[in-house]
Structure 1
Amino acid sequence: MIAGFEQPSSGRILLDGVDVQGIPPYRRDVNTVFQNYALFPHMSIEANVSYPLRMHRVAKHEIDERVSETLALVEMEELRKRFPHQLSGGQRQRAALARALVGRPKVLLLDEPLGALDLQLRQQMQLALKQLQRDVGITFVYVTHDQGEALSMSDRMAVMSTGHIEQVGTPREVYFHPNTPFVAGFIGKANLGRGTVVLESGATVGHWGGISFPMAADTPLGPCAFSLRHESVSLSDGAGDIAVRGTVEEVVFLGDSSEVMVAVDGMTLVAKAPAHLGFALSNGQAITVSFKAAEVVRIDG
């Protein structure tokens, strides 16, 4: 919709305060970078990057200047005479970025641009893209199904489900204060379940399965959903103000950490723990887990 290929069913799309509905895609100051790079294989990198300017009949001296400037920005100046097949995946992605940026758009759309790269290269490119956005100072709209990538890359993020926006906010807001059960489960890993908030002897108390915990006085009363991040659950009784006994159901080794599933009062809590702690546990073992009541998030729905 931002690019102009789809029309919204309601609302407006503003670019620098101007409603761009009705403006055809080729007249919108928006460019796109795709996952498959979409570079012309028969053209050098220099020719690929200059292509949009040549199509708009920009003067040759300005083309040369802007191509050199943009290739330097993405650290590709020394590779300008090479062809796409002579480049690595990361270099091809940088070339695609240069081509999208050379026209100096107001908005750059990035459609899962790092999806085809291996993990190490993807992480390197994430850092490079963040720095590039700061350098050029334009808005990047970045689409990704990688939740960690979304959290690390964005200043503001929107979580969508079945075509609807579930929540918009900073990465910290979305991660620590999810608005819906979908957001809590989709961004990061969380223990989710149904419960209720009640008044008991003048105090606000949450009940989740067989676990009870204090909540802020202004917490809305009634049925709700609760969310508790895996890393908020500790395999000790001294790390939080709520401690409960349970039984280990399963330990999943993840390399640098372990996920420990603990049956507690008719429900399962998952704790993220250092890998060596997971090694010391076995299925059926009795264990105490704890968490801070303040880290339990009440969610409508």
Structure 2
Amino acid sequence: MTNLNAPADGPAGRAPRVGGTAGPSAGADATMELATIGGAAFPGGSSVSGGSSVSSGSSVSSGSSVSGGAAVSGDEAVLGGGAVSGDGWAGEVAGGDALIELSGITKVLKGQQEPRTILDGVDLTVRAGESVAIVGRSGSGKSTLLSVVGLFDRPDSGSYVLAGQEISRLPERRAAKLRSSHFGFVFQRFFLLKHLTAAQNVAMALVNGQGWLPRRERRKRVMTALDQVGIAHLAKNRPAKMSGGEQQRVAIARALVRNPRVLLADEPTGALDTETGALVIDALLGATERGCGLILVTHDRDHAARMGRIFDLRDGLLTERVPA
């Protein structure tokens, strides 16, 4: 098993940065702040959020630039050219093989009077094409676990193997590259840029990293991702012209456009009605049919029941439910 923890790209002891600040506090169960668009971490801690603007001569996110200063403007810039991440990491996973392997993962919240254990020896294996639901009360550490899996935060101890390679102490820069190339993120909030069309919002996930996609390939990827979630016909619509469920499917398409190996979904249906939420779950499960692993954090029992496996997180312990 190859170890990628060599400190060549930065100090190994520094926590990954999210939106210009340190990763989520140990044990914090709040939804991870969006420092990524479809898993693409922006260099230097810059981020894209709902209030960010992309216009002629402007950079993304209130003075922060995309890929070290490249401004993005209009449909041609967003769909026509942009950088795509490539980390040079050659780990390959065949369908059904272990994609994520967590062993003995611990996380302790130390910023209070007494340390609080959030994750206490968590073990979890997710295979390519597999869907997993994680349920638990608010504050139980579900989002903290997702932040560890998604490389926003580091475990205090334990082993994290991704596609056969140990990454639990990965330097920040390499963690950002893996987060960009291997993960797609879907949140309860959509984080769509209101002045951009659905296609442009999806294309924003490709505006980062190293290398550039030709315009035709970029358009093909964007339209394929929108088609996979059933809203290719809404490609030219802006968020104001779409329902909540349609906006969430744009967010899922944005997460899929990079062809991630793992989708991490944190309460993606929390703000949607039952019927619309079911359509969103359909879109997420569609990704597993193409070999993507899915970890869903949810309070909805019906949605959890549609996953291949269900885990309960309580008192820092992750326990798999035995099928009835």
For the superposition of Structure 1 and Structure 2, which TM-score range results when normalised by the shorter chain? 0.5 to 0.7
Question: 1:26 — aligned with what?
Answer: 176
Equivalent residue in structure 2 for 1:51, among 197, 204, 209: 204
Q: Are 2:284 and 2:294, in contact at CA under 8 Å, matched by a contact in 1?
A: no
State the Cα distance separating 1:150 from its structure 2 match.
1.2
Equivalent residue in structure 2 for 1:118, among 244, 256, 273: 273
Please state whether the residue corresponding to 1:11 is helix, strand or coil: strand
Question: 1:143 — aligned with what?
Answer: 297
Please state whether the residue corresponding to 1:39 is helix, strand or coil: coil
Residues paired across the two proteins, number? 169
Please state whether the residue corresponding to 1:12 is helix, strand or coil: strand
Is 1:164 matched with 2:317? yes
Which residue type is aligned with residue 183 of structure 2? V
Question: 1:206 — aligned with what?
Answer: none
State the Cα distance separating 1:23 from its structure 2 match.
4.7
Question: 1:244 — aligned with what?
Answer: none
Is 1:16 matched with 2:157? no
The two structures have a TM-score, normalised by structure 1, of 0.53
Q: Distance in 2 between matches of 1:102 and 1:23?
A: 26
Which residue type is aligned with residue 26 of structure 1? A
Please state whether the residue corresponding to 1:71 is helix, strand or coil: helix
Question: Percent of aligned pairs with the same residue?
Answer: 32
* Superimposed CA distance per residue, residues 107-151 of structure 1 (whole angstroms, 9 cap, x where no aligned partner): 110001011001222233333432x13432200111112233212
Which residue type is aligned with residue 158 of structure 2? G
Please state whether the residue corresponding to 1:13 is helix, strand or coil: strand
State the Cα distance separating 1:164 from its structure 2 match.
2.2
Equivalent residue in structure 1 for 2:248, among 93, 101, 116: 93
Q: Distance in 1 between matches of 2:159 and 2:301?
A: 27
Q: Are 1:4 and 1:23, in contact at CA under 8 Å, matched by a contact in 2?
A: no
Q: Are 1:54 and 1:63, in contact at CA under 8 Å, matched by a contact in 2?
A: no
Question: 2:154 — aligned with what?
Answer: 7
- The runs of at least 4 consecutive aligned structure 1 residues that moved more than 4 Å come to none
Gaps of 5+ in 2: 1-147
Which residue type is aligned with residue 42 of structure 1? H
Over alpha carbons, which structure has the higher Rg?
Answer: 1
Q: Distance in 1 between matches of 2:171 and 2:221?
A: 26
Question: 1:214 — aligned with what?
Answer: none
- Which structure has more relative contact order (CA 8 Å, sep 6+)? It is 2
The two structures have a TM-score, normalised by structure 2, of 0.49
Q: Distance in 2 between matches of 1:128 and 1:65?
A: 19
Q: 1:65 to 1:127 in 2, by over 3 A?
A: closer
Please state whether the residue corresponding to 1:117 is helix, strand or coil: coil
* Superimposed CA distance per residue, residues 15-72 of structure 1 (whole angstroms, 9 cap, x where no aligned partner): 1111222153421211210001111112111111011213233222221111111111
Supply the RMSD in Å over aligned alpha carbons: 1.7
